[in-house]
Amino acid sequence: MKELILIRHAKSDWGTEFLKDIDRHLNERGYSDAYLLSNWYLKNHTSPELILSSTATRALNTALIFARTLDLDMTNFVLEKNIYESTATKLLAILKKQDDKKNSIMLFGHNPGITNLCNDLCKDVFFENIPTCGIVSLKFDTKSWKDIKEENAKLNYHQFPKDYKNSN
């Protein structure tokens, strides 16, 4: 069994005109949501065996907040430049290359790639848009990342910042 935890980066700051898109950082709500959801994850789930993160500042910041909250061994934290501006097809190709010794991977990325990948792999639910800092977990009935596909995928859970905030 393989588990893929997809996380869209938290809300980013659009306030600095001269910054390149890849260099945009999180805004106040982004930091707040990343801490909120990483603590929710810590209380409700076991830590992933690997974190893959886009090299974009906003995704990296979100991933680092989760890694610190989960006290993740940073040897299991990998920056993957090809996640940035990636399509669902390219994200799937990245996942299929992962070491089968790792049974759970948390991937921090961007839309539309994250939402499209989720919708391509799992027909249990359709997401119009995975929101910033949204978490979607998919389980695959397979022993190899090379074999993950719609036919062996099942929605495990999803959690979005607004849902968590409304439940308290």
pLDDT, one tens digit per residue, over 46-61 is: 999 999 999 999 999 9
In a domain, 155, yes or no: no
**Domain harbouring 89, CATH code:** 3.40.50.1240
What's the mean per-residue pLDDT of the chain? 95
**pLDDT reported for residue 163:** 81
**pLDDT reported for residue 166:** 54
In a domain, 47, yes or no: yes
User: pTM for this structure?
Assistant: 0.95
Q: pLDDT tens across 78-108, in order?
A: 999 999 999 999 999 999 999 999 999 999 9
SS3 120: helix
Q: pLDDT tens across 115-127, in order?
A: 999 999 998 889 9
In a domain, 34, yes or no: yes
In a domain, 151, yes or no: no
Mean pLDDT to the nearest integer, 61-82: 97
Tokens of 165: 């905030």
Mean pLDDT to the nearest integer, 1-6: 98
The values of phi and psi at residue 146, to 5°, are -60, -25
In a domain, 112, yes or no: no
Domain residues for the domain of 32 are 1-12+21-102+117-135
Task: Look up tokens 């938290």; give the residue.
Answer: 10
pLDDT interval class at 168 (50, 70, 90) = very low
In a domain, 148, yes or no: no
In a domain, 142, yes or no: no
How far apart are alpha carbons 128 and 137 in whole angstroms? 16
SS3 25: coil
Give the number of domains in the chain: 1
In a domain, 7, yes or no: yes
pLDDT over threshold 70, residue 154: yes
- Among 108, 104, 130, residue whose Cα is nearest residue 119: 130
